[in-house]
Structure 1
Amino acid sequence: MTGRGDWRSLRDRRMAEPGAVEEYEATRLAYELGKAVRERREQRGWSQSELAKAAGMTQSAVARFEAGGTVPTLNVLERIARALDAELSVQFVPKPATPPRPATA
């Protein structure tokens, strides 16, 4: 693979595979959750070990989560939120409506 077109083509083929879009979205969500926790932890000046102790977890579990390697249960997210003096908010947000396509003659 030498050019952007080759990588783009490979990505397009992979994303067309069954379940690929769902897996991508799950990975994106895990990354964003981990990033938000890391930012909040760093704002408090805490190490991963300090957060782990406050949340009743291990440092390695915090590290995996912050790296986007795992998606914790809602119970674990609640413990992390309490440890970080934050409120966990889980919600469904409607997607914006897509405009209708013009009719073809």
Structure 2
Amino acid sequence: MNIGTLIKQKRREHGVSQNELAERSGMSRSTIINFEAGKRSPRVDDLQNIALALGEDELYFFTLNPPLPPTAAGEPTGQKSPSE
């Protein structure tokens, strides 16, 4: 999972729009859109501000193993297993 996907998943989990997240974190909506789409990489302070804007610990996005979204767990990856 890339950081943009994690930002989007966490934003949706909190029921926050891109516009609202932008306002809360002091960024533009286009910046949030670009982060979520993987077109731009957030800086450390961007990730801290986004986490705090979502009510999470400022280090949320820096954990080594963030939880997978519930819908992604168990879904096929499209890769063949070694036994195939």
TM-score > 0.5 by shorter chain: yes
Q: Distance in 1 between matches of 2:64 and 2:21?
A: 28
Cα shift readout 1:19-54 (whole Å, capped 9, x = no counterpart): xxxxxxxxxxxx611111101111111110000000
For CA contacts below 8 A with separation 6 or more, give which structure has more relative contact order: 2
Are 1:41 and 2:3 matched, yes or no?
A: no
Aligned partners of 1:57, 1:36: CA distance in 2, in Å?
17
Aligned to 1:64: 34
Q: What fraction of aligned residue pairs are identical, expressed as a percent? A: 35
1:53 aligns with 2:27: no
Q: Against the structure 1 CA distance between its residues 73 and 45, is the aligned structure 2 distance closer, same or farther, given a 3 Å change threshold?
A: same
Tell me the matched-pair count: 63
Aligned-residue offset at 1:91: 5.9
Q: Distance in 1 between matches of 2:7 and 2:64?
A: 20
Please, what TM-score do these two structures have when normalized by structure 1?
0.54
Q: TM-score, normalised by structure 2?
A: 0.67
What is the aligned partner in structure 2 of residue 74 from structure 1? 44
Letter in 2 for 1:82: L
Which one has the bigger helix percentage?
1
RMSD: 1.9
User: In terms of Rg, which structure is larger?
Assistant: 1
In 2 relative to 1, CA 36–92 (structure 1 residues): closer, same or farther, beyond 3 Å? closer
